């Protein structure tokens, strides 16, 4: 399989559009994350890739083979695709070995293959246990082992770690993606957690309201979002009214350089910065501001600062050195910004 091509795919449910003209190219052996809020169409797109649902418009190709169009549909079991749903969906009456064996031919060396994928997923010695005898993380590994057993060319992960605690979920996701990279399996991960997507992906497709708004490498999606909506969906963002002139945006935080790949024509615009680009500078250097609120968050502090008595921003800084509420400070901006002609309401 050389690549996966989703070409102008659309899907309606009961006359309600769910996906609109979605196009993606997924390279062989790569990891693509579908990132977006609940209801944006991520799982629908995954189900179309798996073959569980029919496309209404467009085509899906796995390698050189057309597997979905309004006139053609290859059944899920003939696509060579592994699917790991939310919370694993293991068969409770089957052992770990029985769950993993499900879908394999009952003839041939199935036992050797089951032992192989159990070892690969760190489950050796647990083959005779039942799902209720396993931890949540172990159950997810069984679901992954079951999906890997037939040696698929593509694995689809539909928020499979959602039921786990945050730290365990992110650690588990990184471990699983690392394992899939070792096997060379092309992977599509559905998530609504930007940090999870940034940590494991070669490319991120940011989705909203059935559209793919941007698909690019994680650092490009974060630092050079295609729109204000993408910026908001991929992390905290600060928007500043300003005027574009000579490759800069003049704002209340000073004259900010525009990233050269995102230049705008001269005129009114809204610039976007990430909160970590704004730091507290030495006294007398930078833009003066006053701290109006200080919120302790453990490993960092959120500072609400007021600039020129009109502009209030929320910044992040280390918790051990953050000044107190009411303190006068000076702000320094680092790096370039991107700008948009306008920013829609959040």
Q: What are the pLDDT digits (tens) for 315-339?
A: 988 888 788 999 999 999 999 999 9
Query: Domains in the chain, start-ordered, CATH in brackets?
Result: 3-231 (3.40.50.300), 236-340 (2.40.50.140)
Nearest to 192 by CA among 170, 177, 168, 224: 170
Say if residues 205 and 217 touch (Cβ distance below 8 Å).
no
Q: Between 110-120 and 136-148, two packed helices, what is the crossing angle to 10 degrees?
A: 130
**CB distance 305 to 292 below 8 Å:** yes
The pLDDT assigned to 2 comes to 53
Nearest alpha carbon to residue 123 among 164, 176, 190: 176
The pairs formed by 190-193 with CB atoms below 8 angstroms and a separation of 24 or more are 190/33, 190/34, 190/42, 190/43, 190/46, 190/156, 190/157, 190/158, 190/159, 191/33, 191/34, 191/35, 191/159, 192/35, 192/36, 192/37, 192/38, 192/42, 192/159, 193/35, 193/169
Q: pLDDT tens digit string along 9-29? A: 999 998 899 999 999 999 999
pTM over cut 0.85: yes
pLDDT, tens digit (0-9, with 9 covering 90-100), for 188-204: 999 999 999 999 999 99
Maximum separation of any 2 CA atoms in the chain, in Å: 78
CA distances from 255 to 126, 224, 270, 310, 317 (A): 61, 19, 13, 18, 23
pLDDT of 186 reads 94
Q: Where are the strands (E) in 160-299, listed by range?
A: 186-191, 203-208, 211-216, 238-245, 248-251, 254-257, 267-273, 278-280, 287-296
What is the tens place of the pLDDT at every residue in 125-150?
889 999 999 988 888 889 888 988 88
Name 294's bridge partners.
303
pLDDT tens track for 240-274: 999 999 889 999 999 999 998 777 788 899 999 99
The pLDDT assigned to 156 comes to 94
Q: Which two tokens stand for residue 309?
A: 């008595």
Q: Is the pLDDT of residue 1 over 70?
A: no
């Amino acid at each position: 399989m050389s690549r996966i091509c989703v070409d102008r795919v659309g899907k309606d449910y009961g006359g309600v559009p769910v996906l609109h003209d979605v196009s993606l190219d997924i390279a062989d052996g790569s990891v693509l994350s579908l990132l977006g809020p609940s209801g944006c169409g991520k799982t629908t797109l995954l189900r179309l890739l798996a073959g569980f649902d029919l496309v209404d418009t467009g085509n899906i190709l796995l390698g050189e083979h057309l597997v979905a169009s309004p006139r053609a549909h290859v059944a899920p079991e003939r696509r060579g695709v592994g699917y790991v749903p939310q919370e694993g969906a293991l068969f409770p009456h089957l052992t770990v070995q029985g769950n993993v064996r499900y879908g394999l031919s009952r003839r041939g060396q199935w036992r050797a293959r089951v032992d192989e994928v159990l070892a690969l997923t760190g489950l050796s010695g647990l083959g005779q246990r039942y799902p209720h005898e396993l931890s949540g993380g172990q159950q997810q590994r069984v679901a992954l082992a079951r999906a890997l057993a037939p040696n698929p060319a593509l694995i689809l992960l539909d928020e499979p770690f959602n039921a786990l605690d945050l730290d365990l979920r992110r650690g588990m996701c990184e471990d699983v993606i690392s394992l899939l990279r070792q096997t060379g399996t092309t992977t599509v991960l559905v998530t609504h957690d930007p940090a999870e997507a940034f940590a494991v992906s070669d490319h991120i497709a940011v989705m909203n309201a059935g559209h793919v708004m941007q698909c690019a490498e994680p650092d490009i999606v974060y630092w050079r979002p295609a729109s204000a909506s993408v910026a908001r969906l991929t992390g905290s963002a600060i928007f500043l009214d300003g005027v574009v002139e000579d490759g800069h945006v003049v704002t209340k935080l000073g004259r900010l350089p525009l990233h050269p790949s995102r230049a705008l024509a001269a005129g009114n615009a809204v610039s976007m910065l990430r909160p970590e680009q704004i730091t507290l500078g030495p006294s007398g250097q930078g833009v003066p501001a006053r701290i109006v609120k200080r919120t302790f968050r453990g490993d960092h502090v959120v500072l609400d600062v007021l600039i020129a008595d009109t502009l209030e921003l929320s910044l992040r800084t280390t918790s051990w050195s953050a000044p107190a509420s009411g303190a006068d400070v000076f702000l320094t901006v680092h790096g370039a910004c991107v700008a948009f002609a306008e920013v829609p309401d959040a």
